[in-house]
């Protein structure tokens, strides 16, 4: 026969009465604490387009076209409302904000020009988006780099990626775009980063790889350009960063090559030191570290390429930015 279960301890009546009496006091304390809040944290209203950072970068008129209404502003939370299905790409590429301005001829009820001004955070991010979005478009001399198609044009200036779409208007697209570059120049310096390469032939393509270039974990934010040289394709990659970061990249290469059993050999050439790499995966290639850049060339080292890179390093090289 089992023993009877022990009785549950009973809270004294006086303690229970005290706890019940404290409930209103606790409720009052919670209410008072809730009145201390940061209004910025609970203000869910949309930012006033006219006070958004990009609003001041839009003129009242461009090439005779007058601005229609207010500048619309979109952030990470509502970008999908403007470019549904493509917002995640921009956000993943470093997107910070978008301003949209519409312009029309004085007698036109509909916009003849729509300007999308994307703040991508850094010039490299803007460059990457431009190259991804441009595809096979025609290169134009606007901003750091620009492209034109039958619907309009796009270009970058500093951290801004700019799309300009024109509809039934006689204004010249390139000249209209240059008006925007002049306005942007007053707001942010034109970044002359590594969008320029040594002149190694005819440019065939350019792309931006944000991370894991050719599967290498430490090789990130890479610009790659393919040249046609002596009827052959030559791929060149470039990383631009601080001198300390370039030195760190050099150390990462040395450690990686040691772990993989890859041989690299320094080659002196007119005061510069190139590093020739015998890579069982990529074949022969070499790279040149400069103060704020590291340039790699997927080709066997030769005097002709070295001379062009020497000219580039001294600032005297002819630069080709257009396909």
pLDDT tens for 268-306 read 988 899 999 999 988 999 999 998 899 999 999 988 999
Q: Which helix (H) or strand (E) holds 18?
A: helix 13-34
CATH class, domain 202-313, is alpha beta
Using CA of residue 122, residue 128, residue 129, residue 134, what is the dihedral sign?
positive
In the chain, beta strands by DSSP E: 61-62, 65-74, 97-104, 113-119, 138-140, 145-149, 152-157, 160-166, 202-209, 222-229, 232-240, 263-269, 272-279, 283-289, 293-298
Determine the Cα–Cα distance for residues 140 and 144; give it in Å rounded to an integer: 10
State the average pLDDT over residues 165-192: 77
CATH 3.40.1000.20 segments of the chain:
202-313
Determine the Cα–Cα distance for residues 262 and 203; give it in Å rounded to an integer: 30
What's the pLDDT score for residue 23?
58
**In terms of pLDDT, which residue wins out, 186 or 314?**
314
What's the pLDDT score for residue 237?
95
Tokens of 260: 């993989």
Fold of 49-185: Protein Transport Mog1p; Chain A (3.40.1000)
What's the pLDDT score for residue 301?
92
State the average pLDDT over residues 200-207: 83
- What is the pLDDT confidence band of residue 110, given thresholds at 50, 70 and 90? confident
What's the pLDDT score for residue 192?
52
**Residue 4 in this model has a pLDDT that exceeds 60:** no
CB neighbourhood size of 118 (10 A): 29
- Cα-based distances in Å from 289 to 136, 242, 252, 292: 31, 12, 13, 8
CB distance 205 to 226 below 8 Å? yes
For the chain, give the number of residues. 323
- What is the pLDDT confidence band of residue 132, given thresholds at 50, 70 and 90? confident
What's the pLDDT score for residue 47?
41
Query: Whole-number mean pLDDT of the chain?
Result: 80
Determine the Cα–Cα distance for residues 181 and 92; give it in Å rounded to an integer: 25
- Residues of the chain above pLDDT 70, percent: 77
């Amino acid at each position: 026969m089992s023993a009877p279960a022990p009785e549950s301890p009973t809270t004294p009546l006086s303690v229970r009465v005290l706890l019940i009496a404290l409930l209103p006091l606790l409720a009052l304390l919670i209410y008072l604490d809730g009145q201390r809040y940061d209004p910025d944290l609970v203000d869910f209203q949309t930012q006033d387009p006219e006070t958004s950072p990009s609003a001041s970068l839009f003129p009242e008129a461009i090439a005779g076209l007058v601005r229609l209404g207010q500048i619309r502003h979109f952030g990470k939370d509502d970008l999908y409302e403007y470019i549904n299905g493509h917002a995640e790409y921009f956000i993943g590429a470093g997107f910070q904000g978008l301003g949209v301005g519409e312009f029309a001829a004085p007698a036109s009820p509909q916009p003849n020009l729509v300007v999308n001004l994307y703040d991508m955070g850094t010039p490299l991010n803007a460059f990457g988006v431009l190259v991804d979005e441009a595809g096979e478009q025609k290169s134009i001399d606007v901003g750091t780099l620009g492209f034109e198609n039958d619907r309009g044009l796009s270009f970058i200036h500093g951290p801004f990626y700019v799309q300009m779409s024109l509809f039934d208007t006689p204004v010249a697209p390139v000249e209209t775009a240059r008006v925007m570059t002049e306005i942007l120049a007053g707001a942010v310096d034109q970044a002359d980063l590594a969008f320029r390469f040594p002149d190694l032939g005819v440019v065939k393509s350019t792309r931006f790889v944000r991370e894991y270039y050719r599967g290498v974990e430490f090789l990130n934010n890479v610009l790659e350009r393919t040249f046609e040289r002596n009827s052959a394709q030559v791929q060149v990659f470039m990383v631009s960063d601080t001198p300390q970061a370039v030195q760190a990249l050099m150390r990462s290469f040395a450690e990686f090559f040691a772990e993989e059993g890859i041989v690299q050999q320094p080659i002196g050439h007119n005061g510069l030191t190139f590093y020739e790499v015998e890579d069982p995966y990529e074949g022969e290639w070499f790279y040149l570290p400069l103060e704020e850049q590291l340039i790699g060339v997927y080709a066997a080292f030769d005097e002709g390429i070295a001379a062009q890179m020497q000219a580039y390093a001294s600032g005297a090289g002819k630069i080709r930015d257009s396909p």
